[in-house]
């Protein structure tokens, strides 16, 4: 378990280095593309992105080790696994400040269950109005105070792969507008994408990450939201540094912290 602490420290160091290079990197890319405004780029200067440790299929002991090493944000892909881990006696006892992210595909029949997870911080995968409405209507039963809203992100399928969750880029502004205007129990905080795995940055910046940047600008322009108020969740173990350099404010890292993921029991 000491290896987890070592890996976590290395990942955090790489995140800081990537973030420090963010602004120059974006200027270079956009200068070549000639498609974005300089004043928007200036707002994407240095800041420390959030690290979400993806604990999918990892043990309670592994989560405790990462928490003890200073990690606070954890992400889960499966509703049942999230609820089981978040409700585990050791997690409740020793991880008082843990904040859970749900980062998997969410079905309407699992909405109440995911909302029952203790210390739920953010659902990153809202991709249609029906899910947004279901979360909005159910959250009132689970929130601990009248003014506490549920943090959500809108997932965008930037790669346009069939079978992959996420709304189309062109649909994102309308979905965000629907959430902001008709879902008072939800707090829209950003956009999330997964993208195609294995992009070689020797061929240029990841097009899925560039697409999410464009999507962010579309939402800002159509809804009058400041760029600083729309987070970007993009980048995983194989490309989180590249994602941060392009503007990601939140990265989802699993194997680089925990090592190889165990096989799921069928």
Strands (E), the chain: 50-54, 73-76, 99-102, 120-126, 150-155, 186-192, 231-233, 250-253
> Worst-scoring range by mean pLDDT, 19-28, 71-80, 105-114, 185-194?
19-28
Pairing of strands 186-192, 120-126: unpaired
pLDDT value of position 109: 96
Beta carbons of 149 and 180 less than 8 angstroms apart: no
Could you tell me which of 112, 83, 113, 88 has the C-alpha nearest to residue 100?
A: 83
* Tokens standing for residue 132: 């947004």
Could you tell me which of 101, 88, 79, 80 has the C-alpha nearest to residue 59?
A: 88
Cα–Cα distance measured from residue 102 to residue 57, given in angstroms and rounded to the nearest whole number: 14
What's the pLDDT band for 39 if we cut at 50, 70, 90?
very low
Quick count: other Cβ atoms within 10 Å of Cβ 222? 13
Beta carbons of 132 and 178 less than 8 angstroms apart: yes
25 against 6, higher pLDDT:
6
Cα–Cα distance measured from residue 131 to residue 175, given in angstroms and rounded to the nearest whole number: 11
Q: Exposed, middle or buried, 112 (CB in 10 Å: 0-12/13-18/19+)?
A: middle
147 pLDDT higher than 80:
no
Mean pLDDT of the region 7-26: 83
What's the pLDDT band for 44 if we cut at 50, 70, 90?
very low
pLDDT tens digits, one per residue of 51-84: 999 999 999 999 999 999 999 999 999 999 999 9
Beta carbons of 105 and 56 less than 8 angstroms apart: no
pLDDT value of position 151: 97
Mean pLDDT of the region 253-260: 94
Pairing of strands 150-155, 50-54: unpaired
251 pLDDT higher than 70:
yes
CATH number at 23-258:
3.20.20.10
Cα–Cα distance measured from residue 22 to residue 27, given in angstroms and rounded to the nearest whole number: 9
Model pTM score: 0.89
188 pLDDT higher than 70:
yes
Cα–Cα distance measured from residue 70 to residue 167, given in angstroms and rounded to the nearest whole number: 34
pLDDT value of position 47: 61
pLDDT tens digits, one per residue of 117-136: 999 999 999 999 999 999 99
What's the pLDDT band for 27 if we cut at 50, 70, 90?
very low
């Amino acid at each position: 378990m000491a290896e987890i602490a070592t890996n976590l420290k290395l990942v955090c160091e790489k995140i800081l280095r990537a973030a420090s290079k963010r602004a120059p990197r974006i200027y270079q890319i956009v200068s070549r593309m000639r498609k974005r405004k300089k004043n928007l780029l200036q707002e994407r200067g240095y800041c420390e992105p959030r690290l979400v440790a993806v604990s999918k299929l990892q043990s309670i002991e592994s989560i405790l080790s990462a928490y003890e090493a200073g990690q606070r944000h954890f992400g889960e892909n499966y509703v049942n696994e999230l609820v089981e881990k978040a409700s585990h006696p050791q997690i409740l006892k020793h991880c008082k400040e843990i904040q859970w992210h749900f980062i998997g595909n969410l079905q309407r029949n699992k909405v109440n269950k995911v909302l029952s997870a203790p210390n739920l911080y953010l659902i990153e995968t809202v991709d249609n109005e029906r899910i947004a409405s279901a979360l909005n209507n159910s959250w009132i039963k689970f929130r601990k105070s009248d003014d506490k809203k549920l943090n959500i992100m809108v997932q965008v399928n930037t790669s346009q792969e069939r079978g992959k969750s996420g709304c189309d880029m062109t649909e994102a502004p309308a979905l965000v507008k629907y959430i902001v205007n008709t879902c008072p129990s939800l707090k829209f905080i950003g956009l999330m994408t997964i993208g195609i795995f294995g992009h070689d940055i020797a061929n240029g910046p990841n097009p899925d990450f560039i697409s999410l940047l464009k999507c962010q600008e579309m939402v800002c322009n159509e809804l009058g939201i400041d760029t600083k108020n729309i987070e970007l969740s993009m980048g995983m173990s194989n490309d989180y540094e590249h994602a941060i350099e392009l503007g990601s404010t939140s990265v989802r890292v699993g194997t680089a912290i925990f090592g190889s993921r165990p096989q799921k029991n069928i």
